[in-house]
Amino acid sequence: MATIRDVAKKAGVSVATVSRVLNNKGYAHEDTRRLVNEAIKELNYKPNEVARSLYKKTSRLIGLLLPDIRNPFFPELARGVEDEMQAQGIHLIIGNADEKPKKEIDYIQTFKQNNVIGIISATNQAETSLYEDLSIPVVFLDRTTNSHPSVYSDGLDGGKIAAQEMIKRGSKRIALLRGPIEVRTAQDRFKGAVDELCNANVDFQVITSSFSFHDAEKMAKTLFERFPETDGIIASNDLSAAAILHEALRIGRSIPDDLQIIGYDDIPLSKLLFPPLSTIRQPAYDMGREAGKLLMNIINKKPLEQNYIQMPVTFIERQTTRKVEKNG
Amino acid sequence: MATIRDVAKKAGVSVATVSRVLNNKGYAHEDTRRLVNEAIKELNYKPNEVARSLYKKTSRLIGLLLPDIRNPFFPELARGVEDEMQAQGIHLIIGNADEKPKKEIDYIQTFKQNNVIGIISATNQAETSLYEDLSIPVVFLDRTTNSHPSVYSDGLDGGKIAAQEMIKRGSKRIALLRGPIEVRTAQDRFKGAVDELCNANVDFQVITSSFSFHDAEKMAKTLFERFPETDGIIASNDLSAAAILHEALRIGRSIPDDLQIIGYDDIPLSKLLFPPLSTIRQPAYDMGREAGKLLMNIINKKPLEQNYIQMPVTFIERQTTRKVEKNG
DNA sequence: TTGAAAGCGATACCAC
DNA sequence: GTGGTATCGCTTTCAA
């Protein structure tokens, strides 16, 4: 790879001049500028980002920390972030924390060591101490906290809507899945649903389960064994809902007539399940973009309209819930 | 962040000594070593990877280029790579090329500018010119090429198996989906299937479609309009298979009695489809790990047993295909 | 066994 | 307008 020295030599100027042309900073005669640009092109010179980064203590990289890249919800977020960053010429280092604090710490360290200019984190570490004295901007995504700006969707409302729609459609013995205790958004949607269920004339069970696929499969089995009379399930996410749906069909439950299911997230595959899954939609891609925008605004010290961006959730009616009379 | 100077000062030695201790290189008296290590711990010093990288022209980063992070097959590969790298203390910059050569070039540039020690690419750029004079090791994943080491699965065999299983189970008018023309693995599985179909007493249609979700949905609709008599579909990947399954169910086809479907990949959600999807499994996670290992072996100049690692594919029988008599 | 000093490739200050 | 040079934080000769 050619260096700035090579360019300088070729153009017959000093490295300082090349640098100035490169960064459009300070004066440079039009002719000199052209000369330099020609040399750059001829040598196919690209500035060494590492050297740049060392001096400026900043880079064109941001770190994106995901809890589980295999859960389709997160790649969707990632795409949003990526597209937004791409538009601003910033690249991503994606880290998959795998729900393990150790990995998370590790990645944050790597991010710092590589001079990322900011971090977007979608992980579950309640102990924000990890992020406390980081000296670089952090935005939380799909997650709320008081200590940092964040982009998330309205979990309370989501849970509430799920419960309402479920009740409206006549389920009487409802199983409410509660996501991991350390995930704030999971607890929000849980609380939203609980409130609503308490106020209604229905029985309900609370079952705690992780967000992962594998756990959901096991959980589904036990659920139907222990509570065979359940006629409505509010899942903690679409992945769990899919596992439950699958198990329900396997043991011959009829959906939605005999059992209704509502998921959460609206991952791309939800509409391909059979029957297509009714769910609470989080605008994942848009959330990613917003987080990207927010972070860049912070980095560029633009005045912030808001530090906490709450995105709306919507009920997506598909076919794991019964139709409700138009004027019910 | 503390620098090596701070550590040196605190330990009362020179930076050179600290560096030696840090890297376990060259001599250092046991006492000095202890002194330095204490200082490091007290200051919570972490070496600046950027500075290190600038001098050594190498880093602890590798670049992973994915064609489409939203297709669940790729995160699965990524996890394999990541786990393998993690074990070796190497981190990933993941780039999502989005099937766009421009993005791909861009990412490769970023990788280089950040001194990655190697690249794993799962993209579709047939013109390997992109990767030709890169001066850093490249391993292709889920993709074959003569110019670089690669890890891939046996597409020819996969296509063949799919066709055999389909024929064995009695479909007579088969639609064969052909993935994107520029994707070598897609063409392999296509060819494998074609060969087999040609040798059998069946009719078949070839339909070209992309790997994406959205396209698959549209394609599914037209497929059933134009070829309503189709009684077996060999899809180019699970995503397409899911779209087709969905459409088939929607228009009231009975599966597998009236229509059989075989997918390709065995992404995690395939078993949650209804009916669960019969498919050709690629060992995605393992492929990722192998690619990671291969790359690290190249980087560490270990003798290579093989430059081209072909992984086996297997038929996963689920319920979109009919049962076959045991001694048929 | 240790330390001084020369780089790695860029930026930016200060002279000219 | 332009060029010389200190600097970013680290590694690695080379001399002591």
DSSP A176-233: EEE--TT-HHHHHHHHHHHHHHHTTT-EEEEEE--SSHHHHHHHHHHHHHH-TT--EE
What's chain A's length in residues? 328
Residues in contact with strand C, defined as Cβ under 7 Å from any of its atoms: A 1, 3-5, 15-16, 19-20, 22-23, 25-26, 45, 47-48, 51-52, 54-56; B 12-17, 20, 26-29, 31-33, 51, 54-55, 57
User: What angle is formed at CA B208 by the lines to CA B181 and CA B105, rounded to 5 degrees?
Assistant: 35
B242 Cα to chain A: minimum distance (Å): 6
The alpha helices in chain B, defined as continuous H runs, are 4-11, 15-23, 30-43, 49-56, 73-87, 101-113, 155-168, 184-198, 213-226, 238-250, 284-299
**Cα–Cα distance between B111 and B103 in angstroms, integer?**
12
**Cα–Cα distance between A52 and B13 in angstroms, integer?**
29
Instruction: Output Rg (C-alpha) for chain A, integer angstroms.
Output: 25
Task: Using CB atoms, pick whichever of A51, A78, A96 lies closest to residue B54.
Answer: A51
Contacts of A269 in chain B (CB under 8 A): 72, 242, 269
pLDDT of residue A98: 85
Of the two residues A145 and A12, the one the predictor is more confident about is A12
The b/e string for B9-28 (b: 16+ C-beta within 10 A; e otherwise) is bbbebeeebbbbbbeeeeeb
**Residue B321 dihedral angles phi and psi, to the nearest 5°:** -125, 155
Task: Using CB atoms, pick whichever of A110, A273, A276 lies closest to residue B91.
Answer: A110
Residue with tokens 């790997």: B211
Residue B138's Cβ-side half-sphere holds a number of Cα atoms within 13 Å equal to 22
Q: What percent of chain A has pLDDT over 70?
A: 98
**Residue A175 dihedral angles phi and psi, to the nearest 5°:** -100, 125
**Cα–Cα distance between B306 and B292 in angstroms, integer?**
14
Over residues A40-90, the pLDDT tens digits come to 999 999 999 999 999 999 999 999 999 988 888 999 999 999 999 988 889
Mean predicted confidence (pLDDT) in A191-202? 96
**The pair of three-digit structure tokens given for residue A34, joined into one six-digit string:** 């052209």
Contact call for B272 and A113, based on CB within 8 A: no
The answer to whether the CB of B91 falls within 8 A of the CB of B63 is no
Contacts of A79 in chain B (CB under 8 A): 69-70, 96
Amino acid found at B28: A
Task: Using CB atoms, pick whichever of A86, A114, A249 lies closest to residue B50.
Answer: A114
Name the strands in the sheet holding B91-96, side by side, starting at the edge strand that comes first in the sequence: B91-96, B61-66, B118-121, B138-141, B150-153, B308-311
N-terminal to C-terminal alpha carbon distance within chain B: 71
**Cα–Cα distance between A49 and A60 in angstroms, integer?**
8
C1’ D6 / CA A176, Å: 65
Q: Is A120 helix (H, G, I), strand (E, B) or coil?
A: strand
Other CB atoms within 10 Å distance of the CB of residue A316:
17
Q: Quick check: A268 CB within 7 A of strand D?
A: no
* Four-point Cα dihedral A224, A226, A231, A236, nearest 10: -70
- Reference B237, options B275, B211, B276; nearest CA is B211
Contact call for A94 and B93, based on CB within 8 A: yes
Contact call for A70 and B72, based on CB within 8 A: yes
Whether the per-residue pLDDT at A237 is higher than 50: the answer is yes
C1’ C4 / CA B19, Å: 14
Contacts of B246 in chain A (CB under 8 A): 271-272, 274, 276
**Cα–Cα distance between A96 and A74 in angstroms, integer?**
10
Q: Please name the residue whose C-alpha is nearest to the C1' of nucleotide D12.
A: B16
Confidence of residue A328 (pLDDT cuts 50, 70, 90): very low
Q: Which residues contact B10 (CB under 8 A, 6 or more apart)?
A: B39, B42, B43
Over residues A21-38, the pLDDT tens digits come to 999 998 999 999 999 999
Q: Which residues contact A221 (CB under 8 A, 6 or more apart)?
A: A247
Whether the per-residue pLDDT at A132 is higher than 90: the answer is no
Contact call for B79 and A72, based on CB within 8 A: no
N-terminal to C-terminal alpha carbon distance within chain A: 70
Stated as kind and residue range, the H or E segment containing A239 is helix A238-250
Task: Using CB atoms, pick whichever of B78, B92, B249 lies closest to residue A274.
Answer: B249
C1’ D10 / CA A44, Å: 28
Nearest nucleotide relative to A23: CA against C1': C11
User: What angle is formed at CA B77 by the lines to CA B73 and CA B79, rounded to 5 degrees?
Assistant: 115
Q: What is the secondary structure of A267-288 as a DSSP string?
A: -GGGGGSSSPPEEEEP-HHHHH
- Reference A236, options A256, A210, A255, A218; nearest CA is A210
pLDDT of residue A288: 98
Q: Quick check: B3 CB within 7 A of strand D?
A: yes
**Cα–Cα distance between A112 and A125 in angstroms, integer?**
18
DSSP B236: S
Instruction: Please tell me the pTM assigned to this model.
Output: 0.89
Q: Is B57 helix (H, G, I), strand (E, B) or coil?
A: coil
By C-alpha distance, the chain A residue nearest B271 is: A246
- Reference B111, options A85, A7, A22, A49; nearest CA is A49
DSSP A57: T
**The pair of three-digit structure tokens given for residue B251, joined into one six-digit string:** 């228009």
Whether the per-residue pLDDT at A327 is higher than 80: the answer is no
Nearest nucleotide relative to B15: CA against C1': C3
Of the two residues B195 and A129, the one the predictor is more confident about is B195
B281 Cα to chain A: minimum distance (Å): 17
Best residue in A3, A76, A114, A214 for a mutation probing chain B (most B CBs within 10 Å): A114
Full pLDDT tens readout for chain B, 328 residues: 899 999 999 999 999 999 999 999 989 999 999 999 999 999 999 999 999 999 999 999 999 999 988 888 999 999 999 999 988 889 988 888 888 888 898 899 999 999 999 999 998 876 667 887 788 999 999 988 888 999 999 999 999 999 999 999 999 999 999 998 888 889 999 999 999 999 999 999 999 988 877 788 899 999 999 999 999 999 999 999 999 998 999 899 999 999 999 999 999 889 888 899 999 999 999 999 999 999 999 999 888 889 999 999 999 999 999 998 765 4
**Residue B138 dihedral angles phi and psi, to the nearest 5°:** -125, 135
Contact call for A112 and B46, based on CB within 8 A: yes
Task: Using CB atoms, pick whichever of A96, A107, A213 lies closest to residue B268.
Answer: A213
pLDDT of residue A214: 78
A201 Cα to chain B: minimum distance (Å): 33
Nearest nucleotide relative to B52: CA against C1': D10
Q: Please name the residue whose C-alpha is nearest to the C1' of nucleotide D6.
A: A55
Stated as kind and residue range, the H or E segment containing A91 is strand A91-96
Nearest nucleotide relative to B27: CA against C1': C1
User: What angle is formed at CA B7 by the lines to CA B2 and CA B8, rounded to 5 degrees?
Assistant: 140
Name the strands in the sheet holding A118-121, side by side, starting at the edge strand that comes first in the sequence: A91-96, A61-66, A118-121, A138-141, A150-153, A308-311
Mean predicted confidence (pLDDT) in A274-287? 96
Nearest nucleotide relative to B50: CA against C1': D9
By C-alpha distance, the chain B residue nearest A247 is: B272
Q: Quick check: B20 CB within 7 A of strand D?
A: yes
Q: Which residues contact A202 (CB under 8 A, 6 or more apart)?
A: A167, A171, A172, A173, A174
The answer to whether the CB of B45 falls within 8 A of the CB of B38 is no
pLDDT of residue A326: 60
In strand D, the nucleotides that come within 7 Å of a protein beta carbon are 1-5, 7-14
The dihedral sign for the CA sequence A67, A73, A77, A79? positive
The answer to whether the CB of A118 falls within 8 A of the CB of A138 is yes
Task: Using CB atoms, pick whichever of A95, A213, A249 lies closest to residue B274.
Answer: A249
Range from A184-188, A223-227, B8-12, B42-46 carrying the lowest mean pLDDT: A184-188
Residues 138-177 on chain A lying near strand D, CB distance under 7 A: none
Nearest nucleotide relative to B19: CA against C1': D11
By C-alpha distance, the chain B residue nearest A214 is: B268
Q: Which residues contact B38 (CB under 8 A, 6 or more apart)?
A: B11
